[in-house]
């Protein structure tokens, strides 16, 4: 962990809420909004989110699975995201979400007219804007967590449920019953 923490504090809560409360709380609200207000399907949402987590190297984010109404993506989904170009597990929207996430994070200047033509054939302009805002949140906050070492130090509060229970500052939400530690 890069940041020195006082004894006995939760790393996420301290960094996000205690150290820079005006920025951290606003960032946390933005981060949580992508989960609370998305209209994207679960598979394309998770494909994009997981691809950003993989690019960022954020351990916590890679282990997280978004849950909606008791449903998460199937086992093996993360492996399919890693192989988004060749997997048979994805429809075109899901594949494009993973591709967009990767290119947004690694080569945003290379998003060419051919890509946008494929993207606009599958997504509305509103969905493209929404997905782009999600990508921005995941890229920034997952990378922050990883760079500062929060992803390896964090332990989620006991009893925090998957889905949209009590929000934590940051991008992360655990699978039901899961505790993540480094």
> Per residue in 119-130, pLDDT tens?
999 999 999 999
Torsion sign, CA atoms 44, 48, 54, 59: negative
Long-range contacts: 3-9, Cβ < 8 Å, 24+? 3/148, 3/149, 3/150
Residue-level pLDDT at 154 = 62
Q: What is the pLDDT of residues 145-171, one digit of tens each?
A: 999 988 887 654 443 333 333 344 443
Q: Where are the beta strands (DSSP E) in the chain?
A: none
Structural contact between residues 164 and 35, judged by C-beta atoms closer than 8 angstroms: yes
Q: What pLDDT shows up at residue 121?
A: 98
- Complete domains list, the chain, with CATH: 11-153 (1.20.1290.10)
């Amino acid at each position: 962990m890069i940041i020195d923490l006082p004894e006995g504090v939760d790393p996420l809560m301290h960094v996000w809420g205690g150290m820079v409360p005006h920025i951290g709380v606003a960032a946390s609200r933005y981060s949580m909004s992508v989960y609370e207000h998305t209209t994207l399907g679960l598979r394309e949402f998770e494909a994009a989110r997981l691809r950003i987590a993989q690019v960022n190297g954020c351990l916590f984010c890679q282990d997280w699975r978004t849950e909606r109404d008791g449903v998460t993506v199937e086992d093996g989904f993360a492996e399919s995201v890693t192989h988004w170009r060749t997997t048979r597990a994805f429809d075109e929207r899901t594949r494009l979400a993973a591709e967009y996430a990767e290119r947004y994070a690694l080569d945003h200047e290379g998003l060419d007219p051919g890509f946008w033509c494929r993207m606009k054939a599958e997504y509305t302009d509103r969905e493209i804007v929404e997905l782009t805002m999600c990508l921005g949140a995941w890229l920034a906050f997952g990378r922050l967590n990883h760079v500062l070492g929060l992803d390896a130090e964090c332990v989620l509060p006991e009893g925090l449920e998957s889905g949209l229970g009590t929000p934590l500052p940051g991008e992360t939400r655990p699978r039901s019953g899961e505790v993540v530690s480094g």
